[in-house]
Amino acid sequence: MNKNLIFYQLFEHETSTYTYLLGDAKSKEAVLIDPVLETVDRDLQLVNDLGLKLKYVLDTHVHADHVTGAGEIRKRTQAKTAVSADAKVACMDVPLHDGDTLQFGTFEIKALSTPGHTDSCMSYVCEGMAFTGDALLIRGCGRTDFQQGSSHKLFQSVTHQLFTLPPDTVVYPGHDYRGQTKSSVEIEKKFNPRLGGGKTEAEFVKLMSELKLAQPKKIHEAVPANMACGNIKSETVLHPQMVNDIPEITPENLKPHLGQVRLIDVRRPDEYVGELGHIPGAELITQGDALDLFFKTNDKSQEIVFVCRSGGRSGKSTFEARQQGFKNVANMTGGMIRWNELKFPIESNQPHLGDK
């Protein structure tokens, strides 16, 4: 290992999760991989003790067994959050693609797309080390039976992306449940009982199909929170500013709370799937009879942000919602034009229709 690379492997006991800190001893820039919300204080204390400045916080995937600390760390340090672009986590700062690299000081960390455990897993390679998340564990691998997982994809990811790394590459997994801390590509390629020893794809797929695993205990809490960068739903998350009697929120302030509030897009269907696209998770309820029915039949205590092309129609909808008794609503200023100018994530698939 390069003598100027600071490296720590940290452990969270409840979910047996490993967090990794890498820093440049000269520039003091650092990255943190897979932080856990409950251990953010510990991690930041170490960062401060070492005199480091976090530049990036990386997640290997949208975790189902714990809530990420990425969003909380971003609040406290101004570090940028990064995860696979395929995860469609709209509040992330840096969407990563296969082969992308991030610099911290004189060091570079490379993203390798390794889907299979979920459809958007990333592994990270730096200075002869591979941080494999749940794609490749020590003598094992992540499950493939939820979050759009695929045994076929995982086999291809491990054999083509990870097992083709130099044999002496040190493997640092996202979890271990038996006290093991590291392995190597050579060892896993030979001895991993699921993927090593010349296993065929058919053998691996059959093995994975026969596993009978319980759902992660925190899945219903963790996945929605992690789609919002680790923000756990509180009583209210919106803090809009009143402008001409209409509560408004900017795209920049909305983005960290995606997954925590309900998004209603009031444009026409052709606009929803048009060139401006729509915010991931936004429901299409066009102004008129459909929106009027929504106001009459939905819970008035829920938090809602209305969206349109430029903010005009959604502002009117926000005003109408308040008149109908909705208390926690806001208009997104600038609409999808501003959202696109900021290069925030969009989708352009067929309409997701809200309650009518």
pLDDT (0 to 100) of residue 355: 44
Q: Tell me: the pLDDT tens digits for 242-285?
A: 788 788 999 999 998 888 899 999 999 999 999 999 999 899 99
Backbone angles phi, psi at 200, to 5 degrees: -85, 165
Mean pLDDT of 144-155: 94
pLDDT (0 to 100) of residue 350: 65
User: In this structure, are 180 and 244 located in the same domain?
Assistant: no
pLDDT (0 to 100) of residue 225: 87
- Decide if 348 is inside a domain: no
**Cβ neighbours for 82, distance < 8 A, ≥ 6 positions apart:** 56, 57, 58, 59, 92, 93, 94, 95, 96, 102
**Cβ neighbours for 10, distance < 8 A, ≥ 6 positions apart:** 18, 19, 20, 21, 39, 42, 43, 46
Q: Tell me: the pLDDT tens digits for 167-219?
A: 999 999 999 999 999 999 999 999 999 999 999 999 999 999 999 888 888 88
Q: Tell me: the pLDDT tens digits for 95-114?
A: 999 999 999 999 999 999 99
**pLDDT confidence of 356, banded at 50, 70, 90?**
very low
User: In this structure, are 319 and 244 located in the same domain?
Assistant: yes
User: In this structure, are 93 and 167 located in the same domain?
Assistant: yes
pLDDT (0 to 100) of residue 217: 84
**Res. 86: pLDDT tops 50:** yes
User: In this structure, are 211 and 240 located in the same domain?
Assistant: no
User: In this structure, are 216 and 238 located in the same domain?
Assistant: no
Mean pLDDT of 24-43: 98
pLDDT (0 to 100) of residue 244: 80
**Res. 221: pLDDT tops 90:** no
Domain end among 188, 221, 254? 221
- Decide if 213 is inside a domain: yes
Edge-to-edge order in the sheet of strand 183-184:
101-104, 107-113, 122-126, 129-133, 170-173, 183-184
User: In this structure, are 179 and 252 located in the same domain?
Assistant: no
pLDDT (0 to 100) of residue 144: 96
Burial 48-62 (b: 16+ CB within 10 A, else e): eeeebbbbbbbbbbb
User: In this structure, are 209 and 237 located in the same domain?
Assistant: no
pLDDT (0 to 100) of residue 240: 81
**Res. 236: pLDDT tops 60:** no
User: Could you tell me the pTM of the whole model?
Assistant: 0.70
- Decide if 257 is inside a domain: yes
Q: Tell me: the pLDDT tens digits for 283-340?
A: 999 999 999 999 998 888 788 999 999 999 999 999 999 889 887 899 999 999 999 9
Q: Which domain holds residue 30?
A: 5-221
Q: How many domains does the chain have?
A: 2
pLDDT (0 to 100) of residue 351: 56
Domain end among 197, 221, 245? 221
Q: With CA atoms as reference, report the closest residue to 311 among 274, 288, 336.
A: 336
> What is the rounded average pLDDT for all residues in the chain?
93
User: In this structure, are 203 and 66 located in the same domain?
Assistant: yes
- Decide if 227 is inside a domain: no
**pLDDT confidence of 233, banded at 50, 70, 90?**
low
User: In this structure, are 210 and 261 located in the same domain?
Assistant: no
User: In this structure, are 307 and 254 located in the same domain?
Assistant: yes
Domain end among 159, 193, 221? 221
